[in-house]
Amino acid sequence: MRSADRTTTRPTFQDQRRQGGIVDFGFIQVPEEDKVHWVRRHFNSVAHKYDFMNTLLSFGIHYLWKHIAVRMMDLQEGQRVIDVCGGTADLSLLAARCLGPGGSIVLYDINWAMMVTGRPKVINAGYGDSIRYVQGDAERISFADNSFDAAMVGFGIRNLTRMDAGFREMHRVLKPGGKLMCLEFSEPVTPWFRALYDFYSFHIMPALGSFLAGCRHAYTYLPESIRLFPDPPQLKKQLEEIGFQDVIYRHLTNGIAVIHIGVKSLGASDEAQLG
């Protein structure tokens, strides 16, 4: 197990699988086959206070980011949506309001503790029947090709061992013309704000995590994993290489978070039918 250099250039998907089967877990490097266990342990440790800490550490602005992200998906009544790494169901609940009684959502997550933590919110909001829970690995989604009208992932894709596999699976299960939305942390675009944000995320957040959630290590991993995530132009390019088209991105709060939207291209037979 080795520590990574904080100044390392942001990786591409191909960089994630390092020589000798070593991958990043924050600034720690672990065997590729072990990362899923590290991630599971991480979310088991924070699940009970996940929503509270998200709201505290973001000063509540994560709710606005999620509202904007779901609005950019332009969901329609009756559609079928998969919420990958859906956790405590914030995005699922926002999407459910757009889909009407004929729509449905699959909340797909590998961590049962996170799903159980968020389930009361879903029931209390009256969406217990329309939001279905499936526990599974985002790198091997257990649904057939062309199953969903839209796929979304919020603050979860960087936790996968192979992010490219996760995006490829979302592309696979989307119907032709289906839309992908990825909401993820990034770095501020303004230098002075980036410096302030780095101080907050690398020093204040771990201290608050230790004091309020008893999990300093979890809130040390968070900024480290953000630092290693591809920047918006890189991610746009990589999504296009996977097969998404019309990929756009939008900075939120000076770039602390970024929304990427992409569309699964229509196959030749689909285009002929539309023509």
For 76, the 3-state DSSP assignment is coil
Residue 117 CA to residue 109 CA, distance in Å, equals 12
DSSP annotation of 127? -
Percentage helix, strand, coil, to 5, in the chain? Answer: 50, 25, 30
HSE-CB for 201 with a 13 A CA cutoff: 20
In the chain, where are the structural domains located? 7-274
Going 37 to 42 to 48 to 50, the CA torsion angle's sign is negative
Q: What is the pLDDT along the chain (275 residues), one digit of tens a residue?
A: 434 444 444 555 545 445 558 777 666 676 777 677 667 777 777 888 889 999 999 999 999 999 999 999 999 999 999 999 999 999 999 999 999 999 999 999 999 999 999 999 999 999 999 999 999 999 999 999 999 999 999 999 999 989 999 999 999 999 999 999 999 999 999 999 999 999 999 999 999 988 887 777 778 888 888 888 999 999 999 999 999 999 999 999 999 999 999 999 987 445 434 44
Q: Tell me, which fold does domain 7-274 have in CATH?
A: Rossmann fold (3.40.50)
**Sequential DSSP letters for 241-252:** HHTEEEEEEEEE
Instruction: Mention every residue, 6+ apart, whose C-beta is less than 8 A from residue 139.
Output: 160, 161, 162, 165, 166, 169
Q: How far apart are CA 234 and CA 197, in angstroms?
A: 21
Q: Has this prediction a pTM greater than 0.85?
A: yes
